[in-house]
């Protein structure tokens, strides 16, 4: 994030990227709910955002190959952690579908809140510039 936008949007740009990455991780957990020995993972959001704001550098995006979608690499001590299972299954899978769905819904609300904040800031700037 450039210094001119850092004060404008605060940590919401980095938070938005982390919410997106967390949605991907939670979706992968849900997709593998029936996979034997699959270990559910989640992002330690507090440490990831804390590391991003301490470095004052944006989260890096890296495209694995040309023409493919970019994927975020979490620089802050790899904030992706294994989730402690509440009740692991006999096949070693630690995904609890209900808690994953609840986490996914919460994550969606937080993502939308950050996006709404950024949109409001842009709208305020546009009004200040154009006067309408």
For the chain, the distance separating the N- and C-terminal CA atoms, rounded to the nearest angstrom, is: 28
pLDDT in tens, 86-109: 887 899 999 999 999 999 999 999
Phi and psi at residue 71, in whole multiples of 5°?
Answer: -125, 145
Token pair 């979490």 is at which residue? 74
In the chain, which ranges are continuous DSSP H helix? 3-9, 12-31, 45-55, 97-130
> Which range is least confidently modeled, 62-66, 95-99, 104-108, 125-129?
62-66
Of residues 94 and 47, which shows the higher confidence score? 94
Q: How many domains does the structure of the chain reveal? A: 1
Best-predicted range by mean pLDDT (50-54, 72-76, 85-89, 99-103): 99-103
Tokens of 94: 């630690």
- In sequence order, the 6+-apart residues with CB closer than 8 A to the CB of 55 are 75, 76
Domain holding 75, by residue range, is 3-130
Q: Give the model's pLDDT for residue 52.
A: 56
Of residues 58 and 107, which shows the higher confidence score? 107
Q: For residue 62, what is the enclosing H or E element?
A: strand 60-62
């Amino acid at each position: 994030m450039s210094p001119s936008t850092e004060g404008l949007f605060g940590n919401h740009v980095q938070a938005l990227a982390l919410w997106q990455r967390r949605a991907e991780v939670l979706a992968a957990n849900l997709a593998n709910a029936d996979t034997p020995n699959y270990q559910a993972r989640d992002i330690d959001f507090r440490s990831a955002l804390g590391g991003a704001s301490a470095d004052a550098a944006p989260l890096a995006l890296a495209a694995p190959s040309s023409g493919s979608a970019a994927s975020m690499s979490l620089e802050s001590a790899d904030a992706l952690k294994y989730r402690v299972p509440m009740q692991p299954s006999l096949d070693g899978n630690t995904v609890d579908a209900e808690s994953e769905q609840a986490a996914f819904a919460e994550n969606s609300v937080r993502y939308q809140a950050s996006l709404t904040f950024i949109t409001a800031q842009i709208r305020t700037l546009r009004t200040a510039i154009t006067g309408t």
